[in-house]
Amino acid sequence: MKSYKELPDDAGSNIVGQVTAQAKRVNQRLSSVKHTIAVMSGKGGVGKSAVTSNVATALALQGFSVGVVDADINGPTIAKMMGVRKSKLEYTSAGVKPAITSLGIKVISMDLLLSEDDAPVLWNAHSQKDAFTWRSTMEVGALREFIGDTEWEELDYLLLDLPPGSERLANVVELIPSLSGVVVVTIPSDVSQLIVKKSVTMARDVLNVPIIGVVENMSYYVCHHCGESEPLFSNDDAVESAFQFTLLGKIPFDPKLSQCNDSGVPYIQQHPNNQASEAIVATVENIKKYFNALS
């Protein structure tokens, strides 16, 4: 396969120039961001987006300036979870002003660009059957525009909520070579560990991206009648046995968290004294501790 530079003629599209200019804009936008963190799992259904939105909320409640990029182009959920789905994006000569939550968190998501609830993401191609050929390239291009065209201004933390798939991190590293690190989200089941391990190997051994630590979501549930904690899955020691990384937090299952996500209300703000909120705050403290140790 030839690179763009090897093509004899780009028909006047100046593809190389466009990509180079976008990459320059990404670097300029991120120059005022202290820590850029990718949140990944490799497997869907582990609550990665819920962890991302609540970690962002916990950081904002502590006074940090925070931004969130919904990097799941085809299945965006962050805007709904963070209560900004009905926001209108404002376009200026300086770029796109992101949606802003009640706590001041800046959010950009494909969901903010879709006209209807049931509208899928359709790519410009001869037919949608043909679009798969260029889909990965177009997704990376969309993500590059999200990061490079958004007016982030100064941020302490920018979180990128990645879609499932061990290959997704490679796209982000291509866009952000200076990525601060990765937070891995899993659940205590052998099936989840099998998939998430592949993502960890990709991040650590192939892409050489620092792994901040692992978050075990849905670790256990608390009985509403007796208050006792019980494992939600059969393998409640999965993270300790499967990963040799810092365990950032063990977040218990709480139906109220899902209810808050559906209504766009920050869970840890609504239920600050619940065990899941305390676990999310502990996760944030460990993330901060990681960066403090580097400084």
CB 153, CB 33: distance < 8 Å: no
Q: What is the mean pLDDT of residues 209-231?
A: 86
Q: By residue range, what is the domain housing residue 102?
A: 4-294
Task: Write out pLDDT tens, residues 45-60.
Answer: 899 999 999 999 999 9
The residue among 158 and 19 whose pLDDT is bigger is 158
Q: What percent of the chain has pLDDT over 70?
A: 81
77-82-85-88 Cα dihedral, nearest 10 degrees: -130
- We report the CATH number of the domain holding residue 76 as 3.40.50.300
Question: Is the model more confident about 39 or about 140?
Answer: 39
Task: Please list the alpha-helical segments (H only) found in the chain.
Answer: 15-30, 48-61, 78-81, 135-149, 168-175, 190-201, 238-242, 255-263, 267-270, 275-294
- Above 60 in pLDDT, residue 273? yes
DSSP state of 109: -
Arithmetic mean of pLDDT, 82-87: 92
**Each residue of 173-197: pLDDT tens digit?**
888 888 999 999 999 887 887 888 8
Lowest-confidence segment of 17-26, 50-59, 127-136, 239-248 by average pLDDT:
127-136
Tokens of 40: 């990944």
Q: What is the per-residue pLDDT across 252-263, written as a single tens digit (0 to 9) for each?
A: 999 999 999 999
> Of the given ranges (71-80, 173-182, 237-246, 271-280), which has the lowest mean pLDDT?
237-246
pLDDT at 2: 47
Provide mean pLDDT across the span 150-163.
95
More confident residue, 3 or 119: 119
The rounded distance, in Å, linking the Cα atoms of 254 and 232 is: 11
How many domains does the chain contain in total?
Answer: 1
- Give the pLDDT score at 67: 97
Mean of the per-residue pLDDT values of the chain: 84
Adjacent-strand bridge partners of 250: 216
Q: In the predicted model, is pLDDT for residue 24 greater than 90?
A: no
pTM: 0.86
The DSSP secondary-structure symbol of 247 reads E
The answer to whether residue 129 scores a pLDDT higher than 80 is no
Report whether pLDDT(1) > 80. no
Which is higher by pLDDT, 95 or 155? 155
pLDDT of residue 140: 78
pLDDT at 188: 85
pLDDT value of position 144: 86
| pLDDT (mean) for 235-259 | 78
Tokens of 149: 């065209």
Q: State the first-to-last Cα distance of the chain, in angstroms, to the nearest integer.
A: 42
The per-residue pLDDT for range 131-149, each reduced to its tens digit, is 554 456 667 778 888 898 9
3-class secondary structure, 68 = strand
Fill in the amino acid letter for 105. I
